[in-house]
Structure 1
């Protein structure tokens, strides 16, 4: 019997960019053009012509009973198509009377077809039930009729099925070309690398889960801090990827791109899972379907609910035991309250605490002061927790418009103890610091989405509005063995973002689609320094970000695209109010050209040639309580993603990413962007049966790169192999995974840091400091389905 796979049918991509321009003239002209165009189009909008007919329908998962959004809908023999909306509904208008074959296409589902006979002036209703089946790349089409910006949709859908997930740290690397590095014992947010960026913990990559923002503004450790560990890997159903600043839905931090994760709406079965591994590693997972019939009818409308919880513990591979503990809990309800209204309610809680060995200097290992897995200050570590609550109400309005409203609340607490310079500042007690904060986030997003018939074309419009308020108590202190000695910065941050955007997609011909959008953001900053009122203040700043994208579908298997857009990333509130000359919302401008195509039925290729300019590359240094500015930067590169199905059960995949970046205003001898990768690649071979044995051998490669502007210190690259095997039965699953199969010595996080060890000169030594990467690491797991 085949094991059913629940797979979301939406995913995404985009490109990247940034500028040095401060003028609003271009944005104003762009806005005026869009407004005038919309008024003209609205005035010319026509009702369905007399003598034509329409098809209405819904798309439903035949196993779970859930409606499926974003499914491609086509009429055989017709070039144009549409997609199901947020409630799984679709409509095809202005069709001549006659007989048609309606087909839905969704990766991981059998493509059903329905024959419909239309009578002039009438509307025919059809329901398409999609049955989950084994993955087949032959069924893939590369065009995305509802959101053409999702040109990576097919790639990420394939990866979500094929790539194994062993922990929350495996989720972000599902983004093609994205690498992570951990450097604080597994409890701190990872360092992210993508498109020639070391984006620290999220300065230039926007992350969200079920509409909840992950990036933290004005965070104690760094601007854009994105701790993704509150997500349980087994609950993730879909990933939408947008590279670059080309999509109006994303504002702050979405310069290099954005990743939207969605958790499952329902479970196909309940599950209990146990994992055991080296280094005292253990993990327990429980997922309970609260409506075990798989489909519950409330007034003939589907609803689902489930609980998920995990507990993890490890002492890790360092000499000093890490005593790492993490708990995650999630409850989610999704239901159709009526034919026109759905409700999603989600609550979750995450808590973690750990000890860390931190980054170590190469000389300490070379001189025998410590081993490769030793530490200089074993009192490093931290604790953090996050509680989320959100509700989303989606309603179909008259004229087939869709109104989606989401409100959310986040409570977040963070304490981190670090020592990067050891005894440079305080040769007796050491340089340990504590970064801590207590944060509440209040937010709302609303979108109004509608298709308007313009002659034979259909204009897809999305109007969005939103606000987010961060209310934060934040502090930076000097500590000794985690005991506070004195406070460097302490105060209250009040930061609010108000935003709105208009996004228009219009098929100009049967093959050419135009997407134009405009986003407006306004930020209010308020920082009240507890000990020094002179460092307190208020500020406000707005930003207008136009986007313009073109897509040409040569065939259902070949799409070309050209994208461009403005974006930005925000500065830390403390830096904004303390420095009147600070760059508050430095611009980004990006553009790219590329294609997603299938040269043969079982081969999917995505490629893009891109460029991105930043007006000012800012990094808030939480370790010192100040912002560093690298000035203007320029990047360009080439992305290539390949997914190939060799047989019914054997798959190959590879991502290759070349990036070139420079500091624009620096001398050629000192214009390197520290830690920016120039070449990365990830891929592997996977054997996968729908039910039974599966195995995957995967590689990761990150090249050597400059660790400072002068290229005098180099961060070391690596090539690693990982392996995963599993056997799946209707009632249970058994598996094992190995990280670093060849037991390579490699470095994760790496920095050129000036530090001082006991007995060294007062000025210390500047050299490469690093966190050692995972050695050979074996884990086994067993799951029971019920």
Structure 2
């Protein structure tokens, strides 16, 4: 790995015609730590730099920072982060001196004039400023709302609230996560070779009030992400500590009830009780709703979380996390437009009311972060998840079985083990700063998978069943070098090795008999990345990014055809800028393109592999955040996407359900106490639902509102979804189906209706 690092560094310098020089003996070094003034715990991602000087850095996972190659003199050191009060302080540095500082950061109200547009420690996160602003401003009422924090990402639910959402981003219908990687506290959310769909990302086990940070990465440009990170990736992090304990009750239409408890276990006196800063808290929530469908959905969900964070020493921190989630629901499923037109059912009715399911997930994670000599940090994480899933669906009604119907059950009983380690190091290469990251990891999935035919949740027969073992071993090297005071280059190389193993049976399409389906196949993928960043002015950063990525196929599909391209490559690039034309206006714009070698997906509903061949997408993303006054904020995201199948004829080369234009935005009034609120909109336009565009998925334009009155002791709030009570389709598909009364099948639009006007009230007590 050291040789590979040397090669990458040499390549970076050769690209720009530079040669290494010895570090000047007359320069100084400034290092230190930044901790939260209330909890005493380290704060990661704090921007640190010298006033009036180019460049800078940010604190790492232990709150540490380092500025090297500084000419002797007197400077003003500046530190700042969204949600923390900006600070400046004088420092005097002598030749050859290494100065160490211990700093604290105090929380404060949001001020966009303090936002910086450079991200020197994590340059590929060009949406960092936008994401931080959204977390502080946008109302989050559910786990689904957390996914909507990703600019340009839309979701659709079509199974009573218990199933993972369908995800749309950058011209992709990502299904339930095939082309968008999701993680929380380092735990992967996407499920490989899942019973229902490849990359299935059920985020409902996350309690929204516990989430502290979101990092958004669009495109396949970041080496830390491998499988599924083609359209992008989202990294969520839960809070390390609570500002206060909280009890929250929520009541709404359609028999909606929710209760939340968050308890700080150590209290504000922990500094007196411990020599080292530490925190621990527990959180739990319970949800119930019958939803707005004609058939009550009987949706129930429980979430529990416990987290501990502590400093074992000045150089070592420990994080322990455990969580449990369980959910059960009934669903009305997707319905055909013709059944609504002829009055057979209402918009909120059902063809097969026996759909629904149950699922659960238990997680355990331990993270050990250690500061090493030579400005290095080692982060190690081991995790385990126990996952169970059972889903009853009926997508075609009576197309295949005119007597019993086409209901199916999909089951997944899984154990997931994983380990990741990253070694981060800051070096001085002549007068230039070099940040290196070496990462290794493994993920191991053991699951019992099943697909069965059913009627009213009674099993009739087996389509496939068997035992899965899937392993991913990966490693990557990521180098970020400041070539000049303004130009930074990031180059990386990632390698993934997969083992697919399935032992079971599958129904032969011709004989309709169960036959053995067994095999073990290995495949590898190497993914290079190259990204450039230019700090034109302190308020303007330009970037050009490129990279290779991939998404894997289901193990059952791999075993069926071991010669297929089971790790189709994605090749992406983009150019853009994050800039501040005004002190209180932050803009991010990117022009991007992405070529996918093959949209190869195993369809869990039918136990078949579908391939649409290669596709090409390009588009424009624009995000705007503007502070109108001390408490009034305006935001908007505008996303244009154009995609086509490359090997299909011109009259049938649409990518079904791929969004072409989406937009979200809103006006927010944010105050630390007293009255606050937000009025928001979301829009997605009409788009083809099939290859030739003969069936159209209908767009919508919706308004939502949130209002709250906050004091140090309590909060009273109200939310209203779909303020104008618009009739809209949430999930939509072009599907060939047959109803019980029909002799011939019909290919038309099927949909799950979106939420009508939906009001909820909530009250919280803080202590």
Corresponding position of 2:353: 378
Corresponding position of 1:201: 176
**TM-score, normalising length: structure 2:** 0.96
Name which of 401, 405, 414 aligns with 2:376: 401
CA–CA distance in structure 2, aligned partners of residues 294 and 308 of structure 1: 20
Displacement, 1:533? 6.1
Matched, 1:728 2:702: no
CA contact (8 A) 1:45 1:452 kept: no
Name which of 734, 749, 753 aligns with 1:768: 749
Describe the shift of the 1:471–1:251 C-alpha distance in structure 2 as closer, same or farther (beyond 3 A). same
Describe the shift of the 1:306–1:194 C-alpha distance in structure 2 as closer, same or farther (beyond 3 A). same
CA–CA distance in structure 2, aligned partners of residues 533 and 669 of structure 1: 39
Corresponding position of 1:277: 252
Matched, 1:679 2:672: no
User: Superposed, which structure 2 residues align to 1:504-653 within 5 Å?
Assistant: 504-530=479-505, 534-653=516-635
CA–CA distance in structure 2, aligned partners of residues 656 and 770 of structure 1: 25
Corresponding position of 1:783: 764
Matched, 1:146 2:121: yes
Displacement, 1:407? 0.4
Give 3-state SS (helix, strand or coil) of 2:324's partner: strand
CA contact (8 A) 1:112 1:129 kept: no
CA contact (8 A) 2:253 2:758 kept: yes
Displacement, 1:37? 4.2
CA contact (8 A) 1:112 1:128 kept: no
Pick 1 or 2: higher relative contact order, CA cutoff 8 A, min separation 6.
1
CA–CA distance in structure 2, aligned partners of residues 114 and 645 of structure 1: 27
Give 3-state SS (helix, strand or coil) of 1:325's partner: strand
Give 3-state SS (helix, strand or coil) of 1:111's partner: strand
Displacement, 1:95? 2.7
CA contact (8 A) 1:296 1:304 kept: no
Matched, 1:262 2:262: no
CA contact (8 A) 2:23 2:429 kept: no
Corresponding position of 2:279: 304
User: Superposed, which structure 2 residues align to 1:283-432 within 5 Å?
Assistant: 283-293=258-268, 295-296=270-271, 300-432=275-407
Displacement, 1:119? 3.5
Displacement, 1:297? 5.7
Matched, 1:499 2:474: yes
CA–CA distance in structure 1, aligned partners of residues 489 and 31 of structure 2: 25
* Deviation string, structure 1 residues 586-627 (Cα, Å, up to 9, x no partner): 000000000000111111000000000000002221110112
Displacement, 1:732? 0.5
Corresponding position of 1:9: none
CA contact (8 A) 1:116 1:124 kept: no
Corresponding position of 1:26: none
* Deviation string, structure 1 residues 141-187 (Cα, Å, up to 9, x no partner): 10001111111000000000110011111000100000000000000
Name which of 99, 105, 113 aligns with 1:124: 99
CA–CA distance in structure 1, aligned partners of residues 12 and 700 of structure 2: 52
CA contact (8 A) 1:457 1:508 kept: yes
Describe the shift of the 1:193–1:40 C-alpha distance in structure 2 as closer, same or farther (beyond 3 A). closer
Give 3-state SS (helix, strand or coil) of 2:277's partner: strand
Segments of structure 2 that go 5 or more residues without pairing to the other structure are 507-513
CA–CA distance in structure 2, aligned partners of residues 169 and 175 of structure 1: 11
CA contact (8 A) 1:46 1:453 kept: no
User: Superposed, which structure 2 residues align to 1:109-258 within 5 Å?
Assistant: 109-258=84-233
Displacement, 1:294? 5.9
CA contact (8 A) 1:65 1:295 kept: no
Corresponding position of 2:509: none
Corresponding position of 1:24: none
* Deviation string, structure 1 residues 484-540 (Cα, Å, up to 9, x no partner): 110000001100000000000001110010000000000001010147564211100
CA–CA distance in structure 1, aligned partners of residues 19 and 640 of structure 2: 46
* Deviation string, structure 1 residues 383-432 (Cα, Å, up to 9, x no partner): 00000000010000011100000000010000000001111111111111
Give 3-state SS (helix, strand or coil) of 2:129's partner: helix
CA contact (8 A) 1:104 1:128 kept: no
**TM-score, normalising length: structure 1:** 0.94
Query: What RMSD, in angstroms, separates the aligned Cα atoms of the two structures?
Result: 1.8
Give 3-state SS (helix, strand or coil) of 2:374's partner: helix
CA–CA distance in structure 1, aligned partners of residues 272 and 569 of structure 2: 50
Corresponding position of 1:458: 433
* Deviation string, structure 1 residues 257-277 (Cα, Å, up to 9, x no partner): 000000000000000000000
